[in-house]
Structure 1
Amino acid sequence: MKTLLKVVLALLVLSAAVVYWLLHGSLAQLDGQLTVTGLSQSVSVDRDAQGIVTIRAASRLDAAHALGVVHAQERYFQMDLLRRAAAGELSALLGSSTLTHDRNVRIHRFRARAEQAFQHLPVNHQAILQAYAEGVNQGLNALAKRPFEYFLLGQTPQPWQTSDSLLVIYSMYLQLQQSDGAYERGLTQLYQQYPTAVADFLTPLGSRWDAAIDGSQLAQRGDTAAIPELPRQAGGGAGAAAFAPVQFPGSNNWAVAGALTPYRAGMLANDMHLGIRVPNTWFHTIIETRSPALRLAGVSLPGTPGIIVGSNGHIAWGFTNSYGDWSDVIALKTRHDNSEYLTPSGWKPILTRQEAIEVANADAETITIRETQWGPILPAEKTATPNKLYAYRWVAHDLAGINTRIFDLTQAATVNDALQVAAGAGMPAQNLVVSDSNGDIGWTIMGAIPRRQGFSGRLVSDWSDGSQSWQGYYGETEHPRIIQPRSGRLWTANSRVVAGEAFSKIGNGGHALGARAQQIRDLLAQQEQFTETDMLAIQRNAEARFLQRWQAYLVSLLEQQESLSEQQQQLLQLVNNWQAEASVDSQGYALVKLFRQQTLKLLFADFDDNIIRAVRSILEVPAWQILQQQPRSWLPNGVADWHQFQQRTITATLAQVDTETLADYRWGHVNQAHFAHPLSAALGPLSRWLNMPQQALPGDTFMPFVQGSDFGASERLVVAPGHEQNGILSMPTGQSGHPLSPYYRSHHQDWLEGRATPLLGGDSQHQLRLVPGNGDAQ
């Protein structure tokens, strides 16, 4: 028996040693020399104690080549997932679990569009993508073993193609915009099922939370304004399902003019809010080139050869998702057999294409894609109307929507230069905020803006007679912009930014309420001078200004009760002492947040969830008005009166508390970090090896410090161009995607604790020299 046990233990040790050897062989090379064909001169790749990479190269092409090597060795699996997600090819790697995603994405034919778009790029940009792809493949091939994820999957990584970097841009379209028109379809359903007065009431143009940078205020309703009667609907809806916790890709950015900084240069702050996974979306990168003489510092996106947000010494730039209207759902008029559709020039056949979706360890699946001159036809399961066809017109489908103009930001010298670059960029349309070393600041939309004719684009439309259409895109001089506002301050946070003609161009694709932008605006107004530390403090501001009236409302409901149970008495006590902040120890904040959620779920439970999903970002406005006026027609089905409604919201709140006692229910219990590697779920108990440790997190949705369990600030950047040595760049997780790397968790603790990670990193701890191969220039 002892002999058998020894044999088993020896086999386990041997197996562990073999696994470690295989995994260790896929670690990035940090030191020494690596021969790389295609370089014009040697390139140095330095890493500091946190793995922050500094690339020093002779030219932009050599730098792109080197960045490809680094990205491939540190993050190839992440890059592969991004291109496959956009192309609808995840199932070939991951199996049938991703088939639904691939079916939905394939209708956009992004791989074919990427290959076409590459041919239309400027020659110098094609060369950058080519150099990057060569670097990626050489970096991948230089690893002793394939990246560990492919070992776990039993797969072989496929080479990187030049057009794959454009697929990575398309993957950001899928993250930042809707690929199926759900917002527009939900609004249309609202207007079809309810009187116009009710639909208008649920979709107000303006609110008390507006904080546009042009100072505009759209029409607002006071809390005492008349509420239209709600017709009683037969049966019930499923609106409560739409209030499940969800986060929307967003961000904060702001800038202050040079007069408000110690440098006389403008200062920029940017934190982009995305789903946080392991590894993080971004890669902390510094690039220095001799020709042109340039130093770039910021974040790169593995799969692309440039700095996405950061500083070049002359300008600093950052993004927030614009939530403008970048697509339209078109109701087709078709023949009875759906073989043809009506256009302004007559009937045209619906084109069909067959696409094969490869599936790991299973047979390929063939799907049929139907297309019109305006775009693909949405799948029937998306529209829930099998006998009615809808086409999807989307900026992402056009050449204007995909290019590499963002590369040119790196050589912009002024705000004006940057705004000019932005107007011709092909990418998911973003709020671009820029500061420059001269002290100027500016805003514009970076990305293509469609020119609509004959309609606003808000609801599903009929294009068959030609009265409604897109007439190309607005020219570079027509893009809305603001430069040097009188206040010396600019800010955006996914809500409406401007009004008038500029707003008509941008449209509304589901803007955020504005509470976060308003809090940022007000915090900026409280100071006349700003340092980098001041900016970081605003980024981490978790004051619960938005929920203040909900706290007061809950207190008033409890105090009005004739008698309170012991649990309700404790609820009142905790809410009264709520601290007005989304801190991990706050019991009252957690309970007020839960109460608001339960109130909205009950109030709108009779509405279809597609409608609620479309309007939930603005529902705060009509909901508060209903709660103040208590119109009988708005009582949910099965609720006798408003007193019973209030009792039910309190009861539902207490029922959702999942701790042993009410006092144990703290915001840190609700808001636990769960940052996971895509493959960790398959490893069971070993998943901890790949995931970041769970930890209570401050912050929430309606405040600058946006934070959820797997969502939040994917980076926090603060920098004044020309003063990068004082800049800050904080990110979750780490630089490397390999769990054996010392850089797998290298940034995480700083990010959690709000420590200011230097933008330019620290002293070099490792240096890798990339040298030209035989036949290359030296």
Structure 2
Amino acid sequence: MKTTQGKRRGGWGRRVATGLLGTALVLGAAGAGGYSWLRLTSEPRTAGALTAAGLGQSVQVTRDAWGVPHIRAQTDEDAVFALGFVHWQDRAWQMDFQRRVAQGRLSEVLGEAALGQDRFLRTWGFQRAALSALPALEDRTRRLIRAYTAGVNAAQAQGKVAPEFRILGYRPEPWQEVDSLSWSKLMAFDLGGNYEEEVLGTRVVERLGEGGLDAVMAPYPAGAPTILSADELPLQAAQPASRLPSQAVPPGALAELRAHLAAARALGLQAVPGKGSNDWVVGGARTESGKPILADDPHLALTAPMLWYLADLQGGGLNAIGASIPGLPAIVIGRNERVAWGVTNVNPDVQDLYLEPEDATFRTRTEVIRVKGQPDVTLMVRESAHGPVVSGAGAEGLGPRVALKWTALAAGDTTMDAFLGLNYAQNWPDFTRALSRYVAPSQSFVYADVDGNTGYYAPGRVPIRRGWDGSLPVSGDGSREWQGFIPFEQLPHVYNPKDNLVVTANNQVTPPGYPYALGNARNWSEPYRAARITALLEAKPKLSVADVQATQTDTLSPMWPDFRPLLLAARPADDEARRALEALRGWDGQQTVESVPSLLFEAWMMGLREMARDELNDETVMNSLSVLNQLRGDGELCAVQGQGDCASLLTRTLTVALTDLRERLGPDMTRWTYGRLHQVASNHRAFGKVSALAWLFNHSAPTPGGTNTVNVARPEHGTFRQTHGPSYRQIVDLSDPDRSLYIGSLGQAGSPLAPHADDQMKRWIAGEYLPMSTRPQDWGQARTLTLRPTAGSSTP
């Protein structure tokens, strides 16, 4: 076992520094005057009146005290036009960067340092998949996308330019309709990790045999909570899925597959063990008001600017408020006047790697990647009948072709129809009809309405496999093909459950007996969060919004009771280790910023999660459940090069953890408080690792919570930073929807110079919220901008 806690991870962002340093120094030399000029030329107009080409009738955009726009229009098209307008005003760089990621065009503006990412993105074909989705969408969706696109371009025509464009020295292109679908493909990738699990699983089987899979990637425990119970599903005899046969992946091909993962990680996608989300709905029989309460907090990368953009839209028939994503013409998570919804990731297995036989036929296309300051790079991409060749795609004879089959890359993705349909839903039939258009990434949707109904649905295309479980690569010879998809009507769902409670935390969806396999036993997150949420919600006979708020921000470690007896039984190597064990002995499990034991626990766990590194000869980080199983069973992974046991591992890793903390924080253990190292890192995608600019664009502060707390704040391995977490929180009170609550992780504005760049962050850390209200009296000090159509203008 290797211990590498003290190492800092590099990445492509750091290499971008060379091209930006000169610009940054010039900007810094300009002093306050330079920043004032930059702010003046980038800050959007938020009061008064503007004319906008493409608008049908006048629209009022009232930004409240936190910069949240409340849009009031006569038609739905004009409301969505205004959403596109304010998205570009506040998040132009984010929108352009996101579409460049999907297009694989980062090298054009960031230079050679981003070439590896562009190769990965072009090979997978995210933009091609987005283009194929447009023709399949419903007429209403196409109309609203056109209106949104016109709104974005009308804002772009105002001439304000985000600071990033000036620093990088380019102007963005006009928005295209396909750009509103592009980022959803990257979201599907970020929320679907089976490709990564297959790559890791291949290495595990190669080194440890088939039995090593369950050791390194622990299966979901029998008897742990599932989202739906046996009495909520029509159960049948499930068909067993064999794990093998799999196909051996040669080392060269495996290295290429891992290179794709490295490129994704450089973009902040995937590679976070245990990341996930929470949502739940409580029926009126369990609440003080007698009406449902719905809560949601999606756990995603914490970036600057934040992913989400809070908004309130009212048009002719559209009346939705909640969290939007800049670039998308819809409220993604939120409510309308009758219905509320929340989403978490299901993570079914919708990806498969196929080793194509020598006689397989391929389609070939050529991608030309423009590189700033360098000659163009030509990339040849092959596609088999299964999908893009992600390994061995070069000239003939360079190795086996490994192709990826994935639901999100298939033509005809109608997921945008689903999200826009939710904005209009008035009842459960409307809600489920909208979700029937959903493709990827599969999500756990919770539902509640003002009439008191609650429900749950897990929509999306989930393949049916016969004879193998999808956990490892297979031959592309035709013997292991998908047998269609689980019919929508038979996907997991429940309406008005008898116990008036649905809790989801990326845990296993269905109990044994469900007739289809959503994934293998290692697809699901550890059950700790789901169990803790359920226990808190069942602790009182009647729940209030305040109770739900306390649950959503809970920082008690549900892992600690399992690990406590094992860790406290460790043999200390010296007096420092004895003091650490005594501190842990008195710990109540609360992961607060002032807690010393919380830091000791997380630092020790980092070392323990590395126990498979010697066996795999890589940097694998095991999850907590896998570590627990090894410690409880004195497993073979505790040994180092075949020597030692779990007792000696505990002693050694505690010593390494304490040495690391001493080097970081000094010799006085009483000052090793959690918040000194555990701090949110909402970093800029392009400038976050450029020292001359990071101080301006990044945002950091001590945060509570830890691995598997309900308020998820898993420390990044080796740095202790919180890079992922509740990117958005909402609590919807169906007894009075305008008393609902929401909050983002940072702020509405994208520019670091804007007043709303980070004004939600302190509230978010403290577990406070903003009013999720459509009533002007709840908006605080507000500014109103009136958008007026130009003469003869109309929405396309």
**Which TM-score applies when normalising by structure 1?**
0.86
Out of 620, 627, 647, the residue aligned to residue 625 of structure 2 is: 620
Residue 211 (structure 1) aligns with: 225
CA contact (8 A) 2:611 2:637 kept: no
Deviation at 1:399, TM superposition (A): 2.8
CA contact (8 A) 1:750 1:756 kept: yes
| 2:474 alignment partner, SS class | coil
Residue 779 (structure 2) aligns with: 762
Paired with 1:624 and 1:26, the residues of 2 have a C-alpha distance of: 52
1:30–1:714 Cα change, 3 Å: same
Give the alignment of 1:259-274 within 5 angstroms: 259-274=285-300
Residue 382 (structure 2) aligns with: 370
Which amino acid in structure 2 is aligned with residue 597 of structure 1? M
Paired with 1:213 and 1:202, the residues of 2 have a C-alpha distance of: 25
Q: Deviations over 1:439-469 (max 9, x none)?
A: 222112132222334433222122423x421
CA contact (8 A) 2:638 2:646 kept: no
The gaps in structure 1 that reach 5 residues or longer are 1-10, 218-237, 335-339, 342-348
1:706–1:273 Cα change, 3 Å: same
Deviation at 1:591, TM superposition (A): 1.0
| 1:287 alignment partner, SS class | strand
Which amino acid in structure 2 is aligned with residue 772 of structure 1? P
Paired with 1:386 and 1:667, the residues of 2 have a C-alpha distance of: 50
Residue 200 (structure 2) aligns with: 186
Paired with 2:40 and 2:640, the residues of 1 have a C-alpha distance of: 60
Which amino acid in structure 2 is aligned with residue 45 of structure 1? V
Q: Deviations over 1:451-489 (max 9, x none)?
A: 334433222122423x42123333332322122222211
Paired with 1:432 and 1:32, the residues of 2 have a C-alpha distance of: 40
Which amino acid in structure 2 is aligned with residue 600 of structure 1? R
Deviation at 1:603, TM superposition (A): 5.8
Aligned: 1:446 with 2:459: yes
The gaps in structure 2 that reach 5 residues or longer are 1-26, 232-254, 263-269, 715-721
| 1:601 alignment partner, SS class | coil
Residue 669 (structure 2) aligns with: 662
Paired with 1:440 and 1:473, the residues of 2 have a C-alpha distance of: 29
Paired with 1:521 and 1:132, the residues of 2 have a C-alpha distance of: 40
1:625–1:107 Cα change, 3 Å: closer
1:407–1:525 Cα change, 3 Å: same
CA contact (8 A) 1:356 1:366 kept: yes
Paired with 1:656 and 1:216, the residues of 2 have a C-alpha distance of: 47
Residue 312 (structure 1) aligns with: 336
Residue 484 (structure 1) aligns with: 496
Which amino acid in structure 1 is aligned with residue 157 of structure 2? N
Residue 694 (structure 2) aligns with: 687
Q: Deviations over 1:538-596 (max 9, x none)?
A: 111011121223233222224xx6xx632123112211222311111111122122223
Give the alignment of 1:9-158 within 5 angstroms: 16-17=32-33, 20-143=36-159, 145-158=160-173
Decide which moves more: 529-538 or 393-402: 393-402
1:698–1:411 Cα change, 3 Å: same
Residue 337 (structure 1) aligns with: none
Q: Deviations over 1:333-374 (max 9, x none)?
A: 11xxxxx41xxxxxxx22221101112222221111011111
Aligned: 1:353 with 2:365: yes
Which amino acid in structure 2 is aligned with residue 757 of structure 1? L
Q: Deviations over 1:589-639 (max 9, x none)?
A: 2212222332332365323448x46xx34x624x43443343679633163
Paired with 2:415 and 2:161, the residues of 1 have a C-alpha distance of: 31
Deviation at 1:151, TM superposition (A): 0.4
Deviation at 1:83, TM superposition (A): 1.1
Deviation at 1:47, TM superposition (A): 0.7
1:486–1:608 Cα change, 3 Å: farther
| 2:784 alignment partner, SS class | strand
CA contact (8 A) 2:90 2:749 kept: yes
Residue 600 (structure 2) aligns with: 591
Aligned: 1:581 with 2:590: yes
CA contact (8 A) 1:423 1:479 kept: no
Q: Deviations over 1:124-180 (max 9, x none)?
A: 21111111011101101113x3222110001111110011101021121232224x8
Which amino acid in structure 2 is aligned with residue 519 of structure 1? R
| 1:330 alignment partner, SS class | strand
Which amino acid in structure 2 is aligned with residue 295 of structure 1? N
Decide which moves more: 492-501 or 42-51: 492-501
1:599–1:193 Cα change, 3 Å: closer
1:669–1:15 Cα change, 3 Å: closer
Which amino acid in structure 1 is aligned with residue 649 of structure 2? F
Out of 700, 708, 719, the residue aligned to residue 706 of structure 2 is: 700
Residue 224 (structure 1) aligns with: none
Which amino acid in structure 2 is aligned with residue 394 of structure 1? W
Out of 765, 769, 775, the residue aligned to residue 792 of structure 2 is: 775
Deviation at 1:198, TM superposition (A): 4.4
Decide which moves more: 631-640 or 95-104: 631-640
Deviation at 1:501, TM superposition (A): 5.7
Give the alignment of 1:348-747 within 5 angstroms: 349-380=361-392, 387-405=399-417, 406-465=419-478, 467-500=479-512, 502=514, 504-508=516-520, 510-558=523-571, 565-602=574-611, 605-609=614-618, 612=620, 616-617=622-623, 620-621=625-626, 623-630=627-634, 635-637=639-641, 639-641=643-645, 643-657=647-661, 658-660=664-666, 661-681=668-688, 684-692=691-699, 694-708=700-714, 709-721=722-734, 723-747=736-760
Q: Deviations over 1:714-765 (max 9, x none)?
A: 1110002462221110112111112232211221221122222111251451
Paired with 2:461 and 2:671, the residues of 1 have a C-alpha distance of: 50
1:107–1:457 Cα change, 3 Å: same
1:681–1:410 Cα change, 3 Å: closer
Residue 344 (structure 1) aligns with: none
Which amino acid in structure 2 is aligned with residue 766 of structure 1? R
Which amino acid in structure 1 is aligned with residue 634 of structure 2? Q
Deviation at 1:51, TM superposition (A): 0.6
Which amino acid in structure 1 is aligned with residue 599 of structure 2? A
Decide which moves more: 647-656 or 736-745: 647-656
Q: Deviations over 1:49-76 (max 9, x none)?
A: 1111100011111111111110111101
1:699–1:643 Cα change, 3 Å: closer
Deviation at 1:683, TM superposition (A): 5.7
| 2:381 alignment partner, SS class | strand
CA contact (8 A) 1:720 1:727 kept: yes
Paired with 2:271 and 2:476, the residues of 1 have a C-alpha distance of: 37
Deviation at 1:116, TM superposition (A): 2.5
Which amino acid in structure 2 is aligned with residue 285 of structure 1? A
Paired with 2:588 and 2:301, the residues of 1 have a C-alpha distance of: 28
Which amino acid in structure 1 is aligned with residue 607 of structure 2? Q
Which amino acid in structure 2 is aligned with residue 43 of structure 1? V
Aligned: 1:321 with 2:349: no
**Which TM-score applies when normalising by structure 2?**
0.84
| 1:410 alignment partner, SS class | helix
Which amino acid in structure 2 is aligned with residue 770 of structure 1? L
Paired with 1:720 and 1:442, the residues of 2 have a C-alpha distance of: 15
State the structure with more CA Rg.
Answer: 1
Paired with 1:573 and 1:324, the residues of 2 have a C-alpha distance of: 42
Paired with 2:541 and 2:412, the residues of 1 have a C-alpha distance of: 41
Paired with 1:193 and 1:12, the residues of 2 have a C-alpha distance of: 52
Residue 295 (structure 1) aligns with: 319
Paired with 1:776 and 1:394, the residues of 2 have a C-alpha distance of: 42
